Amino acid sequence: MEMIGQTVKHKTLGEGTVEAANGKYLSIRFGCGLKTFVYPDTFGKFLTAVDPAFAEQVENDLAAGRSEKEKTEALRREEAKCFRSGIVIPGRAAQPEDDGQSAYVKDDGEDL
């Protein structure tokens, strides 16, 4: 669905029209001027789509983003668990938040 031309409502800025969309950002013209928002993250928090079909697209994009974030977070938790257990994931550097340990680990488990 084409986003340009869609009408949205902002909690404080009121009604506006999407003038530009590049997949990550939307530029929306309000009475006070042109504002840019991260897409789709600001929907549900500050913006709502007026057109039901556009609202459905936004919801689908939000769900896809949540799913991707959940996968990434699960992977990071698994890697941290392996690191704490001393299991080395070949080709992966230790993460800085891993209790201040060395930033690099060889496959044999020795610090570089």
The answer to whether 25 and 13 have CB atoms below 8 angstroms apart is no
- Verdict on whether the full-model pTM lies above 0.85: no
pLDDT at 85: 75
**pLDDT, position 53:** 94
Radius of gyration of the chain from Cα atoms? 21
How high is the mean pLDDT in each 10-residue block of the chain (112 residues)? Answer: 93 96 93 94 91 93 78 78 71 54 47 48
Q: Where do the domains of the chain lie?
A: 7-75
